[in-house]
Structure 1
Amino acid sequence: MSTTLNAPPLPARAAKGLVLLICCAVVILPFVSVVSTSLATREQVTRSGGLVLIPDEISFAAYDAILSGGVVTRAMLVSLFVTFGGTALSLISTALLAYGLSRLGSFGHRPLLMIVLFALLFTPGIIPSYLVVKSLGLVDSYWSLALPVMINAFNVIILRAFFMELPEEIIDSARIDGAGDVAILWRIVLPLSKGVLAVIALFYGVGYWNAFFAALLYLNDFSMWPLQLVLRTYVVNQTQLGVDQLGVSGQALPPQESLQMAILVLSIIPILLVYPFVQRHFTKGVLIGAVKG
Structure 2
Amino acid sequence: MRHISWSGKTFDLFNYLALTLLMLVTLYPFWYVLVSSLSDPLWVTAQRGLIWWPEGFHLEAYKSVFKNPVIKSGYVNTLVIVLAGTALNLVLTSLAAYALSRPNLMLKNAITFYIVFTMFFSGGLIPFYIVVSELGMIDSLWALIIPNAMSTFNFIIMRTSFQAIPVSMEESARLDGAHDWTILLRIVLPLSLPVVAVMILFYGVAHWNSWFSAAIFLRSRELYPLQLVLREILINNNTEQMMSGISANNRAMVGETIKYATIIVATGPILLLYPFLQRYFVKGVMIGAIKE
- 1:67-107 deviation per Cα after TM superposition (whole angstroms, max 9, x unaligned): 12521121122111111110111011100111111112335
**Contact map agreement 1:45 1:51 (CA 8 A) in 2:** no
Alpha-carbon distance in 2 for matches of 1:16, 1:113: 40
What residue in structure 2 maps to residue 202 of structure 1?
A: 201
What residue in structure 2 maps to residue 158 of structure 1?
A: 157
Shift of 1:118: 1.2
Alpha-carbon distance in 2 for matches of 1:105, 1:189: 17
What residue in structure 2 maps to residue 145 of structure 1?
A: 144
Q: TM-score, normalised by structure 1?
A: 0.88
Name the aligned partner's letter for residue 180 of structure 1. Answer: H
Q: SS at 1:147's partner residue? A: coil
Shift of 1:150: 0.9
Shift of 1:21: 4.6
**More moved, 112-121 vs 134-143:** 112-121
Shift of 1:26: 2.3
**More moved, 121-130 vs 205-214:** 121-130
Name the aligned partner's letter for residue 240 of structure 1. Answer: N
- Give the root-mean-square deviation of aligned CA atoms: 2.6
Going from structure 1 to structure 2, the CA distance change for 1:92 and 1:40 (only over 3 Å counts) comes to same
Shift of 1:290: 2.1
- 1:245-276 deviation per Cα after TM superposition (whole angstroms, max 9, x unaligned): x3x74455671111111111122212211111
Alpha-carbon distance in 2 for matches of 1:105, 1:2: 48
Going from structure 1 to structure 2, the CA distance change for 1:169 and 1:67 (only over 3 Å counts) comes to same
Q: SS at 1:104's partner residue? A: coil
**More moved, 162-171 vs 130-139:** 162-171
Alpha-carbon distance in 2 for matches of 1:215, 1:142: 8
Alpha-carbon distance in 1 for matches of 2:101, 2:92: 14
Going from structure 1 to structure 2, the CA distance change for 1:41 and 1:51 (only over 3 Å counts) comes to farther
Percent of aligned pairs with the same amino acid: 38
**More moved, 100-109 vs 46-55:** 46-55
Going from structure 1 to structure 2, the CA distance change for 1:12 and 1:150 (only over 3 Å counts) comes to closer
**Contact map agreement 2:198 2:284 (CA 8 A) in 1:** yes
Alpha-carbon distance in 2 for matches of 1:289, 1:242: 48
**Contact map agreement 2:41 2:256 (CA 8 A) in 1:** no
Within-5 A mapping of 1:128-139: 128-139=127-138
Going from structure 1 to structure 2, the CA distance change for 1:14 and 1:183 (only over 3 Å counts) comes to closer
**Contact map agreement 1:44 1:52 (CA 8 A) in 2:** no
Alpha-carbon distance in 2 for matches of 1:42, 1:60: 11
Alpha-carbon distance in 2 for matches of 1:129, 1:276: 35
Within-5 A mapping of 1:43-54: 43-48=42-47, 52-54=51-53
Alpha-carbon distance in 2 for matches of 1:278, 1:16: 25
5+ long unaligned stretches in structure 2: none
**Contact map agreement 2:211 2:225 (CA 8 A) in 1:** yes
**Contact map agreement 2:132 2:143 (CA 8 A) in 1:** yes
Shift of 1:221: 1.0
- 1:167-204 deviation per Cα after TM superposition (whole angstroms, max 9, x unaligned): 11111111111111111111111111110011011111
**More moved, 6-15 vs 87-96:** 6-15
What residue in structure 2 maps to residue 190 of structure 1?
A: 189
- 1:19-78 deviation per Cα after TM superposition (whole angstroms, max 9, x unaligned): 555433322222211001111123322332698542221111111111125211211221
Q: Does 1:240 align with 2:238?
A: yes
5+ long unaligned stretches in structure 1: none
Alpha-carbon distance in 2 for matches of 1:11, 1:180: 56
- 1:221-241 deviation per Cα after TM superposition (whole angstroms, max 9, x unaligned): 111111111111111x14231
